[in-house]
Structure 1
């Protein structure tokens, strides 16, 4: 220990740096086996740190077996076979990197932090934590007070007429689909999915070994021409704002899908993931509002409120609800109990409706901003897809370049953009389509991002 030198770096806890350096000295044999280490006080004084700092470092080394303690004598180095360490290669950290720091990230799936109702949510959350029932396990199918609010909201906003008994609360769309897949695979061996479509849904179905059939989706809408030729009686769709192409299923198409489904005695899984944000006219009625007997409705608070809140919900038809509850009555609800109670109160106080109304206007303006900037900078070299609703746009780029090239060039100019090829099964676009989310960006960031993209793709 006499010749050991400690050099502290900024931003890393000092106890961790002491632990790492002592560990390295021991592994390299710089501190002999069974040598006594300085006392906690001696080491703290010599390094000008607190005793707790050196104590934490010693306790970590002790827990990992690098040192041992002998009563009041102190700490000593454990005996090791040096060959045990020489065969382990240490990670090499390079100072050189070709990664460019992203100035603008067009990530979809985030929400506007600036306009999040932080004070209101904090007030409600603090109140919830004073309630006795916040400190226990909740209803396995979700808190009744939240299910009541969701039932009322769905009737008013989406025309879905349901009761609290048919609503199931969970922690995310994928988790709900996995549970649902466990239930449905007893009677169904395959499922129809959109192509291109939500990858998370496909993975959830594949988790239960359900085979996939694809329903082609184009910029003009859904292609139902071969629907009757498909074998499946189960279909997953995003009719209000198709993911990722952004098209909405027209009323005649919805009615046709319902008729097809009823003729097969199957089920439609309707993922209504961001129907709150339509900017041209009111959203079309949900499929579940047109036929509640064989439509499974999925919704969530991730896009409209906060991704990290992890609250989603599912409305099951009478044909499935009892079977579902029998299967999952022994499982705890995966959604946070305090968050459920807080959201119920948030909705009951009218804050939810005010939040949606405010954010719809804000996101509409951001949509107008990004579309305007794209048209101004790129003119005829891009086609904008899905600018009527949602929190992202797709940009079909007519530059005779690959999706990979477009993403790499954008990154080199400090802009992070996202591919859409991952959504496709076999219905691939003839030209690359890039996904640009805008919900968490300011107007200035949107304008800068598009300007940088213009430089990157020129």
Structure 2
């Protein structure tokens, strides 16, 4: 019998409690492969919770690859899910240490990663700033510490522990001016003795440029619909790190299942390498709760990167690193050498915004909006192209990928599409190894209304003939 203990007074949602306890037992081997889980009705009655709580927890376990469904038989533990080294979740402790527009030039732009800033909570944000500037001036206007304000680091720590399954202490958090700086700091830290870095292929050009700019040698590993193909990890020289986007691979959109996550951790451990986890688009998972981070499985081996650019707004220029303890001091030095520290007032206002619950409410509101736009994009593509298009990675985030039959997106074809009034982006622009994915587009929908999405895809269809 499956025994679970739920704390109804905890800040951790019931879904996360059920999911987390079952996940822990699977990783520890207490629930071996082939074990049948109780039905959702049976477990909900036993625990005294809504059946929807159990269904969503089961959906999350299934989405991560921990379970498999057998028609007419139930839900069973999937093979390859044992990783007893994963630490239990922990609550953060108190610290002891001190653009382009939507219709640029009249073109409907399917640029990825662009949030809808028309719904930015300006009044609430202004009230947070007013509260900050009501503080003594020396607290807000003086120089700060390179790692960032403790108030914000504590707020981020609470958020990622409760929402993302990260295992960390506020002292491990370094505030950065976005993901770009965070990756730059990681490269400066790790690409010293070892020059090789394993990257997903394809992956955003920005990351390729940053790694090469720090003298790194890129070892590309192909991805499929489930993220990085761990069987293709290089077996030669030990890399300094492996960079992955396990929650929503960019640009193809896959979510890395637990079996590949475990393979990746074993690889990193054998090679003495770090894993750099860019938790890209994780908050906007449309089919169930957000999937837990890779960091929670092995915090001493994984460097976690997060940002507020898509969940809040890009111009706030705030991201963060969660680092293993031995990297904290050198990372603080690199941040100090780069730009001393982020703007203090924005840090304090963001800390207030998170702590008072405004951030989660904003995410919830935007998630509903983006879910509608995701559906509009999927339906418009299906209506326009039918079986001639295969949609990838639509479960999460502000973009999806669309693979077209017998179409290659050459420069000439892209120019013709734009001349018709729609701007689209081929996945092949992000290739490391050239010649792949010429038939696939990455399509962002975050800042496009559904009627504009439908109009833009209609223009795409007309241009493709």
- Short-chain TM bin: 0.7 to 0.9
**SS of residue paired to 1:225:** helix
Instruction: Note if contact 2:228-2:244 (Cα within 8 Å) is conserved in structure 1.
Output: no
Instruction: Tell me if 1:185 matches 2:191.
Output: yes
| Residue 279 (structure 1) aligned to one of 267, 281, 286 | 286
> Cα distance, 1:431 vs. partner?
4.1
Instruction: Tell me if 1:108 matches 2:112.
Output: yes
Q: How does 1:44-443 map to 2 (within 5 A)?
A: 101-131=105-135, 132=137, 133-233=139-239, 234-326=241-333, 328-329=335-336, 332-426=339-433, 428-429=435-436, 431-443=438-450
Task: Give, in whole Å, the separation in 1 of the partners of 2:429 and 2:408.
Answer: 17
Residues 201/163 of structure 1: CA separation in 2 closer, same or farther (3 Å cut) = same
Residues 105/327 of structure 1: CA separation in 2 closer, same or farther (3 Å cut) = closer
Task: Give, in whole Å, the separation in 2 of the partners of 1:401 and 1:203.
Answer: 25
Task: Give, in whole Å, the separation in 2 of the partners of 1:128 and 1:144.
Answer: 14
Residues 246/330 of structure 1: CA separation in 2 closer, same or farther (3 Å cut) = closer
Deviations 1:382-416 (CA, angstroms, capped at 9, x unpaired): 22111111101112222434332332122111111
Q: Which residue of 1 is the match for residue 452 of structure 2?
A: 445
Instruction: Note if contact 1:251-1:284 (Cα within 8 Å) is conserved in structure 2.
Output: no
Task: Give, in whole Å, the separation in 2 of the partners of 1:340 and 1:333.
Answer: 14
Task: Give, in whole Å, the separation in 1 of the partners of 2:334 and 2:436.
Answer: 41
Task: Give, in whole Å, the separation in 2 of the partners of 1:408 and 1:334.
Answer: 42
> Cα distance, 1:130 vs. partner?
3.4
Quick check: which has more Rg, 1 or 2?
Answer: 1
**SS of residue paired to 1:402:** coil
Task: Give, in whole Å, the separation in 1 of the partners of 2:437 and 2:359.
Answer: 41
Deviations 1:158-211 (CA, angstroms, capped at 9, x unpaired): 111211111000112121221222221233221101111122122111111111
> Cα distance, 1:341 vs. partner?
1.3
> Cα distance, 1:225 vs. partner?
2.0
- Unaligned stretches of 5+ residues in structure 2: 1-103
**SS of residue paired to 1:114:** helix
Instruction: Note if contact 2:203-2:430 (Cα within 8 Å) is conserved in structure 1.
Output: yes
**SS of residue paired to 1:138:** coil
Instruction: Note if contact 2:381-2:457 (Cα within 8 Å) is conserved in structure 1.
Output: yes
Residues 228/285 of structure 1: CA separation in 2 closer, same or farther (3 Å cut) = same
Instruction: Note if contact 1:103-1:415 (Cα within 8 Å) is conserved in structure 2.
Output: yes
Instruction: Note if contact 2:222-2:232 (Cα within 8 Å) is conserved in structure 1.
Output: no
Deviations 1:205-230 (CA, angstroms, capped at 9, x unpaired): 11111111111112354222232524
Instruction: Note if contact 1:366-1:443 (Cα within 8 Å) is conserved in structure 2.
Output: yes
Residues 215/115 of structure 1: CA separation in 2 closer, same or farther (3 Å cut) = same
**Runs of 4+ displaced beyond 6 Å:** none
> Cα distance, 1:239 vs. partner?
0.7
Deviations 1:69-108 (CA, angstroms, capped at 9, x unpaired): xxxxxxxxxxxxxxxxxxxxxxxxxxxxxxx943411122
Instruction: Note if contact 1:169-1:333 (Cα within 8 Å) is conserved in structure 2.
Output: no
TM-score by length of 1: 0.75
- Unaligned stretches of 5+ residues in structure 1: 1-99
